[in-house]
Structure 1
Amino acid sequence: MTATPEREEIATKLLAFIRERFLSGDPQGELTGETPLLELGILNSLNTATLIAYMVEEFEVKVPLHDVTPEAFKNVDNLSSMVHERRRSADA
């Protein structure tokens, strides 16, 4: 899927939030859109709930339970795609 300006903006905001909330600011600058969030333990159950609450508030999207999957939360690229699709379907 090609990154749109909106998806890139979503990814930038998600990366910044994850860096600040879960990685003490990511001093090494290692977090990217493809970093495996679950595999590296960045997202655990509490962090995932915190991230979902942020996405609901920041992007005004609903995140139904059936969308909370390992594939969707695998990395920021997947998360930004999910948020983008949710926003598009809400606007339709």
Structure 2
Amino acid sequence: MRDNEVFQAVKGYVEDSVLKGQGEVEGDTPLLEWGILDSLSVARLGNFVEKRFEVVLPTGSAVGERFHSLDSICEFVTELRAGRTQPEPAAPHDAA
């Protein structure tokens, strides 16, 4: 199940900022394969995702399967948001 807030925000960004209002995309539209996203637009979309959803994209994550479609982007953002809510592991104590 996708997060509708994430889906609508990413869909809006792609349609407005990438397609400049000249087209629509669906959840399963192959964004990279169809040339909708190129390397520059992937970088910009990555920046949008980080700022909008307060997540940090791991280095090299904004390619391939992760930014393949709106659905895959939404799944990725949902995973990142869930990971952000996990407690930090306790630091080891030195017995000196």
TM-score strictly above 0.5: yes
- AA aligned to 1:87 is R
Q: How many residues align?
A: 86
| Residue of structure 1 in register with 2:27 after alignment | 33
CA-to-aligned-CA distance 1:70-89 (integer Å, 9 cap, x gap)? 11111000000100110110
Normalising by structure 1, report the TM-score: 0.87
Distance 1:46 1:66 in 2: 14
> Runs ≥4 in structure 1, deviation > 3 angstroms?
none
* Cα RMSD (Å): 1.2
Identity %: 31
Larger displacement relative to structure 2 (65-74 or 77-86): 65-74
Give the gaps of 5 or more residues in structure 1: none
Give the gaps of 5 or more residues in structure 2: 87-96
Q: Which is bigger in relative contact order (C-alpha 8 A, separation at least 6)? A: 1
Q: Which among 46, 60, 68 is matched to residue 62 of structure 2?
A: 68
CA-to-aligned-CA distance 1:48-69 (integer Å, 9 cap, x gap)? 0000000010000000124223
| Residue of structure 1 in register with 2:38 after alignment | 44
| Residue of structure 1 in register with 2:92 after alignment | none
Distance 2:5 2:13 in 1: 12
Equivalent residue of 1:71, what SS?
A: helix
